[in-house]
Chain A
Amino acid sequence: MRHIISLLMENESGALSRVSGLFSARGYNIESLTVAPTEDATLSRMTIVTSGTDEIIEQIIKQLNKLIDVVKVLDLNDGKFIERELMIVKVKANAQYRYEMQRMCDIFRGRIIDVSDSSFTIELTGSSSKLDAYIESIDKAAILETVRTGASGIGRGDRILKV
């Protein structure tokens, strides 16, 4: 099953490679990994999207906790959470596609952030599956370039990950 794991770690050089190294050394999947400092500059927050059986996810959480630089680990799937990913996609917008691309952008509640004679650059946010659905819905031949941030997540309501 797909899991989103959030963790807080010391904002030190090498900390990222400890986490990514752990995943490759133990053969765990990484679907995406994002990291940036938090409002407390000594801490970074990382979101890892992974998949595996319950036993594997349990081991991943334990192994992450074992890393000396990791302060806190939370499996967002243990409760209710919100997930968002940002995608920027450049699509063909010539006469053949122009109307269609604008319509699809509206349906998926995206925003056109750059326009040229022949292309639109569209910003889309949502769960990773929504972004997948957008890609599925448009003509593959119209896609010029995509870039995705990987998912970020946060617990709902009083579920808070803080030191």
Chain B
Amino acid sequence: MNSNHISGAEIVIRCLHEEKVKFVFGYPGGAVLNIYDAVFKQNKFKHVLVRHEQAAVHAADAYSRSTGKVGVALVTSGPGATNAVTGIATAYMDSIPMVIISGQVPTYAIGQDAFQECDTVGITRPCVKHNFLVKDIKDIASTMKKAFYVASSGRPGPVLVDIPKDITAEKYEFNYPKSVHLRSYNPIIKGHSGQIKKALSLLLSAKKPMIYSGGGVVLGDASSQLTKFVRTIGAPITSTLMGLGGFPASDKQFLGMLGMHGTYEANMAMQECDVLLAVGARFDDRVIGNPEHFLSKPKTIIHIDIDPSSISKRVKIDIPIVGDVISVLTELNDLLSKEKIKQNTSLKHWFKEIDQWRSLNCLSFKNDKKLIKPQFVIQTLHKVTKGDAFITSDVGQHQMWAAQYYPFDKPRRWINSGGLGTMGVGLPYAMGAQLAHPDAQVACVTGEASIQMCIQELSTCKQFHLPIKIINLNNRYMGMVRQWQEFFYGNRYAESYMEALPDFVKLAEAYGHVGMKIEKPSDVEPALKEAFSKKLKERLVFMDFITDQKENVFPMIPNGKGLSEMITAEDL
């Protein structure tokens, strides 16, 4: 044997070193014991031991969302891999660059129904950007290189590498390729110049231009280019749930989030505009509702996206521009700097119309003396954290309130599961964000139903000293389910009531954290101030806010309806 030969497991680790990976989130098991032995012998990255594989993938996902780097998770074969599937599908729906390494039974045992065997590549195929089964030790390094390249280029996404146990024990030389080329994979970066010129002249001559930005702007790190462009042309802008922070929410050109729970002004402007520029967004059902209704008001639509399949999927696009958003926006800005911009007088009229919609003040709510309003908790959280925290959320009413009442001025601060809508992501997301930003304030906005889906991670938080603040909006209901049942199912609250809830204060204390129960509106601000104070800076604080049970999220577009068919709090 050659003296510079190392084990397959060590090759895997060396690949991670080459990729400058700082954190690996994982859980050991039989098929990955060789890899874990190699993890033990190194100190270039930190391994974060979770309490359930789902959380490993979510945490790696949030690490990526909050930094832009590739997140890495490591799980064992069989149940390790199947537990990871929810996390992988979540990352896939939101196009998060990740590499998931899964152990597999030895090559000679594949197909024999071996202990902890499952067809991981088959199971994950529909929810990964790509996956690989490594059958030869010679292929480990090149496969890992391909995995990182595919995950992080083009429209990003999770890539899974399945490695049988015997391959990790064999020995071979380590040779990490400097670059990798796949003849079948060539993402388009630069947009078509002719189309870009056409788009700009359409926008500049529009009477009612509108910008609609999505998660692609955040993922593509194009926030400053977008901000520059939008400020120069002076058009109003809205953002999807995933795009929040891509353009500063405090800017007066920003109309708030659009969609099912978007603001009245954003949805109306989206419907009434004459030229629409979509940037890194995909016109999904929760955003534009019914496509026919959306197109019933004629408009010219320009769409910038790196993924050609996102263009003309639900809505026919007039000017498609396939390319990386940062590259296309930079080109647009360059064109703008050469252009002499005339004062577009129609913009004034357009904003007048928008101001009328704004004057409806659709996000206003009445505070109560006795009951804590969930919206008030989020507003106070914004105040106490000076709008500068990393906010993760679970899925449901609290997620929408966080999106509506915590305006984000910076990208990568708002971390939630938009596409798949996975309950349980909040706490592991906060772990990933806190590890990536140890000195930052990280808050997990959640509900008493969602938090229980990954509650075991309180133990991980203790082990790694993660001072996350958990904002539990506890209304004793699966709030969003209850809201739909109230509106569309004649108040029949089928199985949406959370009975036998734990005492969250004691639960937090049992895990070694600080617990707080807040029952009065007047206690909300003092409690939040205390949780974010110096005294508790090093501690995880679980804040159980007992909120108004009957509060609903407004405005709301009922499923299948159009953008201008919103129900507001006033209507009921």
- Residues of B in contact (CB 8 Å), total 19
A163 to B184, CA, bound (A): 10
* Contact A66–B309 (Cβ < 8 Å): yes
Shortest distance in angstroms between A50's beta carbon and chain B's nearest beta carbon? 16
Please judge, given known A-B contacts A14-B133, A59-B309, A62-B308, whether A69 and B125 are in contact too, CB under 8 Å: no
A71 to B316, CA, bound (A): 26
Contact of A68 among B129, B307, B308 (CB under 8 A): B129
Contact of B184 among A58, A62, A70 (CB under 8 A): A70
**Contact residue range for chain A?**
20 to 34
Shortest distance in angstroms between A18's beta carbon and chain B's nearest beta carbon? 6
A13 to B136, CA, bound (A): 14
Interface presence of A137 (CB below 8 A): no
Please judge, given known A-B contacts A59-B313, A68-B150, A163-B183, whether A21 and B308 are in contact too, CB under 8 Å: no
Please judge, given known A-B contacts A62-B309, A65-B308, whether A17 and B122 are in contact too, CB under 8 Å: yes
Interface presence of A145 (CB below 8 A): no
Please judge, given known A-B contacts A17-B122, A17-B125, whether A71 and B309 are in contact too, CB under 8 Å: no
**B494: A residues at CB distance < 8 A:** none
Shortest distance in angstroms between B544's beta carbon and chain A's nearest beta carbon? 40
Interface presence of A10 (CB below 8 A): yes
* Contact A21–B125 (Cβ < 8 Å): yes
Q: Mark interface residues in A96-140 (1 if CB within 8 Å of B CB, else 0).
A: 000000000000000000000000000000000000000000000
Interface presence of B514 (CB below 8 A): no
Number of A-B residue pairs with CB-CB distance less than 8 Å in the complex they form: 39
A16 to B150, CA, bound (A): 20
* Contact A71–B126 (Cβ < 8 Å): no
* Closest residue on chain B to residue A71 by CB atoms: B184
Interface presence of B312 (CB below 8 A): yes
Contact of B121 among A14, A59, A71 (CB under 8 A): A14
Q: Mark interface residues in A43-64 (1 if CB within 8 Å of B CB, else 0).
A: 0000000000001001100110
Please judge, given known A-B contacts A21-B126, A25-B126, A68-B150, whether A63 and B121 are in contact too, CB under 8 Å: no
Q: Mark interface residues in A7-21 (1 if CB within 8 Å of B CB, else 0).
A: 001100110011001
A13 to B133, CA, bound (A): 9
* Contact A68–B309 (Cβ < 8 Å): no
**A25: B residues at CB distance < 8 A:** 126
Interface presence of B358 (CB below 8 A): no
* Closest residue on chain A to residue B310 by CB atoms: A62
Shortest distance in angstroms between B452's beta carbon and chain A's nearest beta carbon? 31
Q: Mark interface residues in B309-325 (1 if CB within 8 Å of A CB, else 0).
A: 10111001000000000
Please judge, given known A-B contacts A25-B126, A68-B150, whether A10 and B184 are in contact too, CB under 8 Å: yes
Residue among A58, A62, A63, A68 having the largest count of chain B Cβ atoms under 10 Å: A68
In the complex, which residues 1-33 of chain A have their Cβ closer than 8 Å to any Cβ of chain B? 9-10, 13-14, 17-18, 21, 25
* Contact A18–B309 (Cβ < 8 Å): no
A42 to B121, CA, bound (A): 21
Please judge, given known A-B contacts A59-B313, A62-B309, whether A71 and B183 are in contact too, CB under 8 Å: yes
A92 to B133, CA, bound (A): 49
**A58: B residues at CB distance < 8 A:** 312
Shortest distance in angstroms between B279's beta carbon and chain A's nearest beta carbon? 19
**B311: A residues at CB distance < 8 A:** 62
Residue among B121, B129, B130, B308 having the largest count of chain A Cβ atoms under 10 Å: B308
The 8 listed contacts between A and B (C-beta, < 8 Å) are A17-B122, A25-B126, A59-B309, A62-B309, A65-B309, A68-B184, A68-B185, A163-B183
